Structure 1
Amino acid sequence: MKLQYHVIDTPFKDTFTISGGRSKSSQPALIVSLSLGPLTGWGEAPAISYYDVTVEKMVREIKAKKLFIEKFALTDPERYWHYLHHLLPEHPFLVCALDMACWDLYGQMNRTPVYQLMGSTWQNTPLTDYTIGLDAIDKMAAKIKAMPWPVYKIKLGAADDLAMLRALRQVTDSPFRVDVNGGWTYEKALEMLPRLAELGVELVEQPMARAKTDWDLEQMQALYNASPLPLIADESCVRLSDMKGIEKCFHGINIKLTKCSGITPARVLIREAREREMKVMMGSMNETVIGSAAIAQFLPQLDYVDMDGPLLLAAPGGTGLTIEAGKVSVSGAPGLGVRPGPLPDQPM
């Protein structure tokens, strides 16, 4: 296989802010490709500062390991993922991008869309939400008015969360999904959840920070037992080892391909969640069409999805994937079925 990579930095339509005051005006990412003969598979790894993931670090790893990444004889994407997992153990985002590209290439080699390779048919696909980042309440309301949508994801974790949600409820009847990014204490979560239920909230992602002590874990379990709404683990469930006992704290998990390191491990996480009779959501890290197409392959297997990156960014970054009124459509072409837009030259 031949490996190439491109560094991109796509502006957001609006500054994107989550709890903790974490804001960004653009989304840097690494686009990778794996080619074999006339076929090329594509993958994407966004750079996320609070996970200490930068394009510079990923490029350094590619330069150091390029020959090893290329030399693998592709017969099975899962075998390639295990190879990459051991080759790049400290770089799950980069492994994810290469895993995406591998599945895309393998699907093209077999003239089959990836979702069919995973045994799915394109039916019963959930609607994607549209995210409203933290901002002044009037600006958040204006964004909802400007983007009528069947379901919204509302970022919370500010001092005026309840007033904010009540104001937003005045401008739309669409269901809300609330994402706190671990921004509440146990006491605030216990107070807020019943009120959110009254305001048409469908679910709550990561109300409290990931447990670090036994006491944190006990509080999560107590909140789970008291909650009138489904609680979905995000930061608390990144990889397979996090699944132990997760069903005692959450009703479902939100899988991020980048954080779990790709399509291959995400399939395992879904199986583990289903065995625990948990709901499965898949989320995004503001990927362009390339990374979003990998998420889309899982849609027939999901209960909820948050894959609005191409809508939040100033440019979708490719073709072959469309999102209209929450409905996600794929091209049906082999592999991921997408192609990137114009890309900058590969860095030296």
Structure 2
Amino acid sequence: MELILREYNLKLKHTFTISRESIDFQPSLIVELKSDGFSGFGEATSNPYYKTTVPMMMIHLEKIRTLIEATKNETPEEFWAMIHPYLQHDMFALCALDMAYNDLYARKKGKKLYELWDYSIDKNPLTDYTIGIASIEKMVAKMKELPWPIYKIKLGTKEDLAIVAALRKHTNAVFRIDANCGWTVEETINNAIELKKLGVEFLEQPLKADNWEGHKEVFKHSVLPIIADESCIIEEDVAKCQYHFHGVNVKLVKCGGLTPGRRMIEEAKKLGLKTMVGCMAESTVGISAIAHLLPQLDFVDMDGALLLAEDIATGITLDFGKITYSDRNGTGVTLI
């Protein structure tokens, strides 16, 4: 098996702002695994909050190139278990590698990933589209630029309720709110009351990740469901979220790929938690992988490729929230 690493700097259509940062470009690593005439692709983007960079991921993968390239017919689960000890300090790199291996494995089997996993795609949820923090005028303009059935609105400003009220005047779409750790307990409980009146479906990660007492208080008193993101990183975190959150947002780059991501979703379901998968401004490479998890999800945020000025791959397509799979096997991805 041959390992190929490609570094990209994805340009965004608009400056993307959340409560803690703004970006115009998203560095991304694409991993390709080649074997027996087939190629599998995976992706992980850099993220300062999690202290990960593309050069760092490439260094960590290069260190185990020999081990990776010696792999022959292991299942994705066996491959992940073999590689995890070497990359447990860099889940982002592990994600890109695991994603590529799952893709390659399914292509060799002549199946799409969801077929390999025996998932039915009959009731796939629609994806939301994210509106980053900006002036109210710019946020309204972004929303009008792409009519969509569900919007995920980034908040964490001094005029959060005014923003949502202004956006509501221009659409009947479902709203989801992501404060990215930007609120206090009191703000969350009070904001939830007003936001529910404005047609908000749920709140995502309103408090800082480690404020477990605060999460418990919000869980008890919020009139809207609360979904964990920064508080739910790896598999062990799912159980901790029970009785603190109503659901979990699994990010593949944070947990180490599709293989552990599927286990996290299964565990969340057993605990009665709502399931969601989110993206990290990936191209269609990473987004196409997420799409194969849809049958197991209540919610999904997989609009990363829509936020880009120019994509680097083809795969799944999105139309007014609905996902259409590629005719190709695996994740269905081809680099442009």
Same fold (TM over 0.5): yes
The match for 1:304 is: 299
Shift of 1:183: 0.5
The residue matched to 2:84 in structure 1 has which SS? helix
Q: Is this contact kept in 2: 1:310–1:317, CA < 8 A?
A: no
- Which residue matches 2:170? 171
Task: Give per-residue Cα distances to partners, 1:270-296, cap 9 Å, x unaligned.
Answer: 111111111101100011010111100
Instruction: Please give the per-residue CA displacement for 1:3-35, whole angstroms capped at 9, x wherever unaligned.
Output: 001100110000000002x01001110111111
TM-score by length of 1: 0.95
Q: Does 2:204 align with 1:210? A: no
Are 1:11 and 1:27, in contact at CA under 8 Å, matched by a contact in 2? yes
- Give the structure 2 partner of residue 90 of structure 1: 89
Residue aligning to 2:132 = 133
The SS at the match of 2:52 is coil
Name 1:5's counterpart in structure 2.
5
1:273 paired with 2:268, answer: yes
Amino acid at match of 1:75: E
Contact 1:282/1:302, CA 8 A, preserved across alignment = yes
What is the letter of the counterpart of residue 232 of structure 2?
C
TM alignment of 1:90-169, pairs within 5 A = 90-169=89-168
What runs of 5+ residues in structure 1 fail to find an aligned partner? 342-348
Q: Is the 8 A contact 2:8 2:27 kept in 1?
A: yes
Task: Quickly say closer, same or farther: Cα 1:93–1:203, change in 2 above 3 A.
Answer: same
Q: Over the residues paired in the alignment, what is the CA RMSD in angstroms?
A: 1.0
Counterpart for residue 57 of structure 1: 56
Look up the match of 2:315.
320
Dislocated runs of 4+, deviation >3 Å = none
Any unmatched runs of 5+ in structure 2? none
Hey, what's the Cα distance between the residues in 1 that align with 2:329 and 2:146?
32
Counterparts of 1:277 and 1:303, CA distance in 2: 12
User: In structure 1, what residue type is equivalent to 2:302?
Assistant: M
Instruction: For 1:28 and 1:54, locate their aligned partners in 2 and report how far apart those are by CA, in whole Å.
Output: 8
> In the TM superposition, what is the alpha-carbon distance from 1:219 to its structure 2 partner?
2.2
**TM-aligned CA deviation for residue 81 of structure 1:** 0.7
Which amino acid is the alignment partner of residue 146 of structure 1? Answer: E
Helix, strand or coil for the counterpart of 1:240? coil
TM-score, normalised relative to structure 2: 0.98
Q: Which amino acid aligns with 1:115?
A: Y
Percentage identity across paired residues of the two chains: 44
Q: Is residue 2:244 matched to residue 1:249?
A: yes
Q: Deviations over 1:48-88 (max 9, x none)?
A: 12211111111212222211221122320111011111121
Q: Which residue of 2 aligns with 1:81?
A: 80
Number of equivalenced pairs = 336
Contact 1:289 1:340 in 2 (8 A): no
| Residue 240 of structure 1: how far off its partner (Å) | 1.4
